Amino acid sequence: MQKLTIKRPDDWHLHLRDGAMLEAVLPHTAQDFGRAIIMPNLVPPVTTTKDAAAYRERILAALPKGMDFDPLMVLYLTEQTDPQDVRAGFESGLITAVKLYPAGATTNSSSGVRDMDKIMPVLEVMAEIGMPLCVHGEVVDSEIDIFDREAVFIDRVLDPLGVRLPELRVVFEHITTKQAVDYVAQASRALAATITTHHLMINRNAYLAGGIKPHYYCLPVAKREIHRKALVAAAISGDPRYFLGTDSAPHTDPNKLQECGCAGIFTAPNTMGCLAEIFEEEGALDKLEGFASLHGPAFYRLPVNEAEMVLVRSDTPASYPSSIDTQDGPVTVFDPLRPIHWKPER
């Protein structure tokens, strides 16, 4: 048996949903993570500080007694977002970041942004006060191949935004390509990137080879092996610009397994075991704490968690649930397609 002790990790990109789903999935994050950036793409979306305050109260009400977890609230950016509400929410400490969804890019993103010029007053205020902008980095034009959406987003949106507002602090979320890794690595401005558990572990064969497998479908989609290897290299590099954002996104099986199934992979229950397996495989266990526990707080200008997590490795594969039950139906847990020998010590 082998043990690894790290500072308690955080999740810098998380979907908790609402209602019965929130109550079912929240404990699986709260048992491992001290904090999480909470995605605001509910129906209706969390667009104002008042909305975020109410959502935060629902999250805390659903938190099981004895669990210590701090939800970091995010506003959903629209072309009607009030810059002064954003300022007030951030300065009060209630709002941590704002999320940019290109309209139609992913689940519940229809209220997102179509015209970047219309959100510049908000972005200018954010740049002034040092507030991070989280971006779903894909273009959604129908003529762009889905495997090229991220690379085109860099050219069309992210790079021009950096020229226009170089002081704006940006998190390029759930990157999936070597182009994105290289772009963040060479950036001279305040640009960081989150990397998901599943994009470190699977390539596009997981959902396309041997038949369509909806439980591996997410947005952005997993891509070629060359891109997965680039993500792994970034994650284990020790570069503080890369940190964990699981994008754990639960959907019930009936919603995944239909003619037009939902995008999202639920990784909260086994993320830390999967990450330890990958980092061990790469001979980089000493870099896991930075990726999961240190780099994110540094970018968000927050203290590192004082508590610690102990990860234990056994010779026999660890046991994780294949699914969880919710009042709305079962939710399948990410299957990494390999044995996982690591597990947090409970």
For 68-106, the pLDDT digits (tens) are 999 999 999 999 999 999 999 999 999 999 999 988 767
SS3 313: strand
> Which tokens sit at 213?
């497998």
Q: What is the DSSP-derived secondary structure letter of residue 305?
A: P
Residues with Cβ within 8 Å of 282's Cβ and at least 6 positions away in sequence, in order, are 232, 236
For 282-300, the pLDDT digits (tens) are 999 999 999 999 999 999 9
One-letter amino acid at 303 equals P
Report pTM: 0.97
- pLDDT (mean) for 39-60: 97
Q: How many domains would you assign to the chain?
A: 1
Cα→Cα distances 280→143, 332, 336, Å: 41, 26, 15
> Which tokens sit at 183?
């772009």
Residue 109: pLDDT over 80: no
Q: Is the peptide bond before 317 cis (omega within 30 degrees of 0)?
A: no
SS3 279: helix
- Of 95, 23, 108, 107, the C-alpha closest to 59 is 23
CATH number at residue 264: 3.20.20.140
Active site residues: 247
- Domain range for 285 is 2-344
Phi then psi for 324, rounded to 5 degrees? Answer: -125, 155
For 194-242, the pLDDT digits (tens) are 999 999 999 999 999 999 999 999 999 999 999 999 999 999 999 999 9
Alpha carbons 216 and 148: distance in angstroms, whole number:
19
- Of 268, 244, 257, the C-alpha closest to 324 is 268
